[in-house]
């Protein structure tokens, strides 16, 4: 039983429901015969990967949908074995280098070299090149990016690279300049409404507009999340009528409660308590940046107007540190303590001004 997200995914550029301009451009690019390296970026759940796969289909035809999974083993310089799952068709190959952790450079180099050195033998193939899709490109290490940069120029004749990233800020400039940047923006509410209706129709039921609105409000522009929520809701109450309670993932409610803890008390003991909560979140695989963002948003919604900017400033500040540092918990906690003392200070100032 597949998830709806996967089942009802559009498969051709013409089937896409929004960003028609983008689709048209991709179509003409695919037809032009001069297909560049590309970098798709945009928020998660906006449809980047869908557009990539649709473009591939446009380029190579339906043959590109015949996929197989390979498990490849690479050897790191210190003879450590790295296992990476690789999805490939005859025309393209898809890798998530962050699976290889710190050895992503090795994996990238080996794979690209291998692909670049094999020519397309199928004379009926529409294109002479193979496509390499690199998912989560923004998690590529600097070394891997540097390795990529040279390869991109060298093997242009029989290979194209499509990068997929949430933001371009973590990609080095040489890579960005070698790619055609494709921004895939999050869909707006009406676009999401269309997609949700479409999905529910294909799943064989009618979606009440109220429910759709509620789901859209909750998803914050993340279409994947919206469809997942829709599926979960449909499972919980098949008729989708009446007041809906959108079941948030546990970690979101958890973050909300952590924010409450921050606002209600500012003592060293509370810092300790919150730390345990953070550890708990981290050990449930919630990315630390996501934790910071969610908690910060929840805190901001509860505090005085004057503090909001500052809290967000410090959240950004400690997020940068988190990226550089190795122990995420330090930075999360440093932010919490910062917010606590800010909050406390404003509280006392307020009190004093009132007395005066």
Name residue 164's beta-bridge partners.
40
What is the rounded distance in angstroms from the CA atom of residue 292 to the CA atom of residue 49? Answer: 26
Per-residue contact track with other proteins, 76 to 115, x per CB under 8 A?
xxx-x-xx-x-x------xxx-xxxxxxx-----------
What is the rounded distance in angstroms from the CA atom of residue 67 to the CA atom of residue 89? Answer: 5
- Which residues in the 27-46 window bind other proteins by CB under 8 A? 44-45
What is the rounded distance in angstroms from the CA atom of residue 274 to the CA atom of residue 332? Answer: 10
| 92-95 vs 81-88, strand pairing mode | antiparallel
Beta carbons of 281 and 251 less than 8 angstroms apart: yes
- Which residues in the 150-179 window bind other proteins by CB under 8 A? 170
Per-residue contact track with other proteins, 238 to 277, x per CB under 8 A?
--------xxxxxx-xx--x---x----xxxx-xxx-xxx
Give whichever of 142 and 201 is closer to other proteins, judged by the CB atom.
142
- As measured in angstroms, the least distance from the Cβ of 276 to other proteins is 5
- Token pair in block for residue 313: 């400033």
DSSP 228-256: HHHHHHHHHSTT--SS------HHHHHHH
What is the rounded distance in angstroms from the CA atom of residue 271 to the CA atom of residue 227? Answer: 37
Per-residue contact track with other proteins, 181 to 220, x per CB under 8 A?
----------------------------------------
Q: Residue 129 CB: number of other CB atoms within 10 A?
A: 20
18 binds other proteins (CB under 8 A): no
Candidate list 282, 297, 346, 347; residue touching other proteins; CB under 8 A: 282
Give whichever of 76 and 194 is closer to other proteins, judged by the CB atom.
76
- As measured in angstroms, the least distance from the Cβ of 117 to other proteins is 23
- As measured in angstroms, the least distance from the Cβ of 1 to other proteins is 4
Beta carbons of 85 and 99 less than 8 angstroms apart: yes
Crossing angle of helices 189-203 and 223-236, rounded to 10°: 40
Candidate list 151, 224, 300, 303; residue touching other proteins; CB under 8 A: 224
- As measured in angstroms, the least distance from the Cβ of 166 to other proteins is 10
Give whichever of 25 and 252 is closer to other proteins, judged by the CB atom.
252
121 binds other proteins (CB under 8 A): no
Per-residue contact track with other proteins, 51 to 70, x per CB under 8 A?
--x----------xxxx-x-
The torsion angles phi and psi of 162, rounded to 5 degrees, stand at -120, 115
What is the rounded distance in angstroms from the CA atom of residue 152 to the CA atom of residue 160? Answer: 8
């Amino acid at each position: 039983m597949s998830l709806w997200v996967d089942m009802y995914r559009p498969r051709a550029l013409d089937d896409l429901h929004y960003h028609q301009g983008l689709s048209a451009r991709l179509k003409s690019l695919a037809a032009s015969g001069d297909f560049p390296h590309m970098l798709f970026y945009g928020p998660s759940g906006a449809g980047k990967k869908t557009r990539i796969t649709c473009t591939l289909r446009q380029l190579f035809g339906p043959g590109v949908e015949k996929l197989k999974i390979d498990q490849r083993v690479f050897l790191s310089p210190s003879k450590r074995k790295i296992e990476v799952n690789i999805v490939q068709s005859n025309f393209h190959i898809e890798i998530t280098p962050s699976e290889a952790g710190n050895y992503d450079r090795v994996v990238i180099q080996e794979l690209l070299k291998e692909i670049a050195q094999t020519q397309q033998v199928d004379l009926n193939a529409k294109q002479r090149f193979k496509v390499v899709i690199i998912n989560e490109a923004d998690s590529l290490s600097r070394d891997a990016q540097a390795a990529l940069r040279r390869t991109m120029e060298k093997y242009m004749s029989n290979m194209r690279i499509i990068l997929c990233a949430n933001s371009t800020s973590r990609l080095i400039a040489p890579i960005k300049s070698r790619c055609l940047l494709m921004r895939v923006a999050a869909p707006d509410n009406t676009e999401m409404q269309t997609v949700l209706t479409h999905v529910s129709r294909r799943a064989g039921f009618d979606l009440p507009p109220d429910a759709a609105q509620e789901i859209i409000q909750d998803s914050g522009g993340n279409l994947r999340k919206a469809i997942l929520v829709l599926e979960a809701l449909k499972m919980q109450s098949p008729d989708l009528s009446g007041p809906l309670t959108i079941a948030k993932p546990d970690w979101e409610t958890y973050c909300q409660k952590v924010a409450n803890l921050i606002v209600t008390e500012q003592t060293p003991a509370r810092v300790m308590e919150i730390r345990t909560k953070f550890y708990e979140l981290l050990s449930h695989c919630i990315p630390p940046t996501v934790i910071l963002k969610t908690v910060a948003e929840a805190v901001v919604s509860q505090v005085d107007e004057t503090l909001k900017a500052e809290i967000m400033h410090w959240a950004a500040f400690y997020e940068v540190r988190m990226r550089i540092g190795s122990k995420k918990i330090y930075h999360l906690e440093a932010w919490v303590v910062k917010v606590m003392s800010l909050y406390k200070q404003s509280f006392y100032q307020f009190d004093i001004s009132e007395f005066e």
